[in-house]
Structure 1
């Protein structure tokens, strides 16, 4: 079976589901359940939680089934739907436990083939940050790696809030130049990968 016939079959299936056909919906769930489950499991590390998230993904797809008639690529649609639910779950856990930091959460916004590049850029940013003098290095790490606000950093480091902001601006300028000079990485590249260190 070629890719065109697969695409046509998928489109017909989605149209049928959008019209409320439960048997077509069951076929779709059976086809993609394991893929969504593995995706969720790779982030939450708990089978029962991953199973619950997977169930929620397919419930949401059924509830919003009328939109399926407009979907060009169901795999992309499914990836976005599952990613958003996983992010929502982890955000709730962040509030409850504060166990994950900004770069890990941000990584979830990326497709799998972008995650390696993201991780490499984080390493390069850390490499540049290591060249900063104190307290500028600590200001940057606390602000951009741990997500702390200026008031927290001020108390933690014993410096004025305005001094925190000044050090942060200087650190970001240094790192932008460092990335461009040593790796030819510009701000647009960072933004395209969703990096929030420089915003």
Structure 2
């Protein structure tokens, strides 16, 4: 059974929740019309919440549909006191799981390609935490490995160009980058799901 505590609310919000409560009671008794009413009422907001976090319209639609399907399937046991709050938490949790799944199955920098390359640290603590951890790890690398990493991922030089500039073989550059990537994946992958909550 899921129960959400309701915060202090205005009279208009209270009346809205009473209306929702009536419809939810009807849903718990199997009323499809009441379910469709709630779906129509809240689908757009739930979709917007999912999309702003995951930036994928099709996946956002799937997430919202899964949340509403769950409400219908579990209608006899799920107890919802505040539907907008319930949807917000349910959508956020679904997004979290999707981001975590993507992080585990995607190359590290493919994931980072989807987030802004610049940020102001005082704007968002999650960004600050993630990029601070990222920069600390890069700085902890041996000097030669750190140089190769920054030339490739921050200055966008090819492995061939780096090899020429540093006077080493291209294979050495590739091997060093592979070692860096392995270290960053192990250390930073656990933080990637946090990015879902930035947007």
Name the TM-score, length of structure 2 as normaliser: 0.52
In structure 2, distance between residues paired with 1:126 and 1:88: 22
Name the TM-score, length of structure 1 as normaliser: 0.52
User: Which has more helix, going by share of residues?
Assistant: 1
Give the alignment partner of residue 73 of structure 1, picking from 82, 85, 109: 82
What corresponds to 2:48 in structure 1?
A: 38
Which structure ranks higher in relative contact order (CA pairs < 8 Å, sequence separation ≥ 6)? Answer: 2
Mapped contact 2:28–2:75 kept (Cα < 8 A)? yes
Give the alignment partner of residue 124 of structure 1, picking from 125, 132, 151: 132
In structure 1, distance between residues paired with 2:59 and 2:141: 43
1:139-179 CA distance string (max 9 Å, x none) = 863421146xxxxxxxxxxxxxxxxxxxxxxxxxxxxxxxx
Give the alignment partner of residue 84 of structure 1, picking from 64, 86, 93: 93
What secondary structure sits across from 1:65 in the alignment?
A: coil
Alignment partner of 1:63 is 2:106 = no
Cα drift, residue 79 of structure 1? 2.1
Number of equivalenced pairs: 138
What corresponds to 1:53 in structure 2?
A: 63
CA 1:49–1:128 in structure 2 vs 1: closer, same or farther (change >3 Å)? closer
In structure 2, distance between residues paired with 1:146 and 1:81: 23
How do 1:146-165 residues align onto structure 2 when only pairs under 5 Å count? 146=189
CA 1:36–1:91 in structure 2 vs 1: closer, same or farther (change >3 Å)? same
Q: Name which one, 1 or 2, has greater alpha-carbon Rg.
A: 2
CA RMSD of aligned residues (A): 3.8
Q: Which stretch shifts more, 23-32 or 8-17? A: 8-17
Gaps of 5+ in 1: 105-114, 148-189
Alignment partner of 1:145 is 2:155 = no
